[in-house]
Amino acid sequence: MAGRNCADIVFCIDASGSMKPCIDAVRENIEKLLEALQSDVQTKWDVRFDFLAFHDSKDGVHWYRSVSMPTCPLIEAIYKGGDKGGLFTKDLSVFKAGLKGIEVEGEEEQLLALDIALDYPWRPSDGCHRVVVLLTDEP
């Protein structure tokens, strides 16, 4: 099977104000999942992961954050031919540090965030699974 034991995973994380009571648990559970994938002694996975934290501020500015990219360079990297080297990592400590930088405020914008996540620099689909996980408190 093509792509067996290979995956690129992007977690789309609702970073709106309503997530404030649960954002720490979201971070913790994502970390536990990735630790389990990396430590599975039965199966070795080649996993790259990233996140896209999102919210819409009160002044209408869209806020996005990735593992190692603040708001503007993330959008520039994806859509304006910028350096995509900061997207996706295999280093769990880098990922955890990025999660700690998520700011929670504003309103939701899930559909736009999902659309942006689909434009990440994925590995070819014939050799790797592509996974997007949406984490939100909205219906």
Mean pLDDT of 61-90: 81
pLDDT of residue 41: 65
Beta strand segments in the chain, E? 6-14, 46-56, 62-65, 129-135
- Give residue-wise pLDDT tens across range 116-133: 999 999 999 999 999 999
pLDDT of residue 68: 80
Task: Return the DSSP state at 97.
Answer: H
User: CA neighbours within 13 Å on the CB side: how many for 120?
Assistant: 29
Res. 45: pLDDT tops 90: no
Dist CA 127 CA 5 (whole Å): 9
pLDDT at 70: 72
Strand partners for 51:
11
Q: Would you place residue 52 in the very low, low, confident or very high pLDDT band (cuts 50, 70, 90)?
A: very high
Confidence of residue 74 (pLDDT cuts 50, 70, 90): confident
Task: Give the three-state DSSP class for 77.
Answer: helix
Q: Check residues 73 and 11 and name the one with the higher pLDDT.
A: 11
Amino acid, single-letter form, for residue 70: P
Residue 110 buriedness (CB in 10 A; 0-12 / 13-18 / 19+): middle
Contact call for residues 136 and 14 (beta carbons, < 8 A):
yes
pLDDT of residue 7: 92
